[in-house]
Amino acid sequence: MIRSLMAMALTLGMASSAFAVDKAYFEIKKVTVTDVTEQYAQQFKATTNSVNGLNEDCNTGADFVARTSSETSVLDAANPLNVVELIVDQIINIGKKIFAVIQAGRPVVNLKLDSANALPKGLTCWSDLSGWNVPNSKVYNVVYENGFGMSVVDYSYRVIYTAGGSADGVGKYITNATFLPANVSVAWGFTFDAKAEIPSVFNTGSKKDPVAGMVMNMEWKVTSAVAHEQSTESYFVSGDNSLKQLQ
């Protein structure tokens, strides 16, 4: 009887210890977000020449175009080259407002890369503007550590945009703003998902000299058997070719 009780106590102790070990593995104890741009070369593949459907087929109203029904008639009915006057101080987003970047720990592959734009109302193609700066980007790294100090999620993403385009010398606009996964590593037992959101575009300049502004959010979620963590990093992109991480 005594031996049976001792064996039972030992079994329970071992089970409790194993549970504590398992829990420590699946817990999230530390999260860090770091600017690691200097560790990554400014690499822009040939596909950036067709970063979104606007480049390949500007005037067809491709399926990624985010616009209201009231804007549809203006954008679809008129060739921007024939429009008498663009509404340069009214800036709209011709592009996707929400799109997946990482799903179940794997990068989402798009033949036509999802992106957003801050362009003058009445324009359907960014290439009808001129004076664009070269594409600009920064890379940020997110690391999640568990109870053992192990890195269970290591995710680097690149914020890319092209700014400075103008309509006959008026305004500074933004095109091809997007997030790209630079690296992702997810440990066994963890699920990682990330999506991009472009909630707003607006005019930060004046009516005569509009400057596009855009908020870009990178949202991600980490889940395990005992943890659920969700975070967002926000960035402000300006038509004057600047990028700022928001606190």
pLDDT in tens, 176-189: 999 999 999 999 99
Predicted confidence band of residue 48 (pLDDT cuts 50, 70, 90) = very low
pLDDT in tens, 64-96: 233 333 333 333 333 333 333 578 889 999 899
pLDDT in tens, 220-236: 999 999 999 999 999 99
Q: What is the 3-state secondary structure (H, E, C) of the chain?
A: CHHHHHHHHHHHHHHHHHHHHHHHHHCCCEEEEEECHHHCCCCCCHHHHHCCHHHHCCCCCCCCCCCCHHHHHHHHHCCHHHCCCCEEEEEECCCCCEEEEEECCEECCCCCCCCEEEEEECCCCHHHCECCCCCEEEEEEEEEECCCCCEEEEEEEEEEEEEEEEECCEEEEEEEEEEEEEEEEECCCCEEEEEEEEEEEEECCCCCCCEEEEEEEEEEEEECCCCEEEEEEEEEEECCCEEEEEC
Of 37 and 22, the one with more pLDDT: 37
Q: What is the mean pLDDT of the chain?
A: 79
pLDDT of amino acid 23: 87
pLDDT of amino acid 153: 96
